[in-house]
Structure 1
């Protein structure tokens, strides 16, 4: 698995998500400001509801723009056995049941998933318990986190 290719897929997905969000925000704005949605009485809330939706969509657009900018500015370095896992690392993890997963440590866009030749790769950030625990770890290290009172343990199987 190539981390530059994964990074490129993440950027493509963010651009596509931004396009969808911008169109949704524009539609919500047009609905909120359309003359047919002007309230006729205090119980007519369609225009108000549409304005809340438009505001939420606009916020989502800004969040995606921020994630895109941060990910575009991410400089990818080759894995350094002295520094360990850092921002921009692509890594394989195995849980206690032997299930494997691929993660990409990014500054933003947590939860975004891309598919690399049938293998899902999930973006995580250092703000998450797992992302924070992985920083500075090395291939072969174990990582333990507690989420909602449950202990989870992972082995770092591969780092790129």
Structure 2
């Protein structure tokens, strides 16, 4: 199941990369068209489009690297082990049960696989940091004393 979840996340990230690439392409076209056609000295449309294109390009590079890292990620079974990157963790907090996949990237993304909603968290996130190193059936503290229980780790 974890491989299916990871593949679904990869598909979402690849769609995002495609969207960002298209936005970068449009911004580059806007920058190239606006500069020679500026009507006034203070027309900054081309400069603004160039800044956007630069930002999109940086995001594309970062996201492409993250996608490659995820493709290379070994799918491990963390049953009976400490929570670490790659672990799928089911937790109960405030009477609600949620499922999280701990990864180095894609934090905040959500996918639904076989009717189960899985949220991607990173070790740098408050929840990810709280879960790291804990084991199944253990409790953890999160956000100013709120506590949770780790129901399952795989």
Give the aligned CA root-mean-square deviation in angstroms. 1.7
- Structure 2 distance, partners of 1:29, 1:152, is 47
1:100 aligns with 2:97: yes
TM-score w.r.t. the length of structure 2 is 0.90
- Structure 1 distance, partners of 2:96, 2:18, is 34
Distance 1:68 1:48, change over 3 A: same
Cα deviation, 1:72-94, whole Å, max 9, x if unaligned, reads: 1211111241x321211111111
The unaligned stretches of length 5 or more in structure 2 are none
Counterpart selection for 2:146 from 125, 131, 152:
152
Q: Is the 8 A contact 2:79 2:153 kept in 1?
A: no
**Cα displacement (A) at 1:151:** 3.4
Distance 1:151 1:59, change over 3 A: farther
Cα deviation, 1:91-149, whole Å, max 9, x if unaligned, reads: 111112x1121100112111111111332211111111211221221111111123xxx
How many residue pairs get matched? 154
Distance 1:140 1:37, change over 3 A: farther
The unaligned stretches of length 5 or more in structure 1 are none
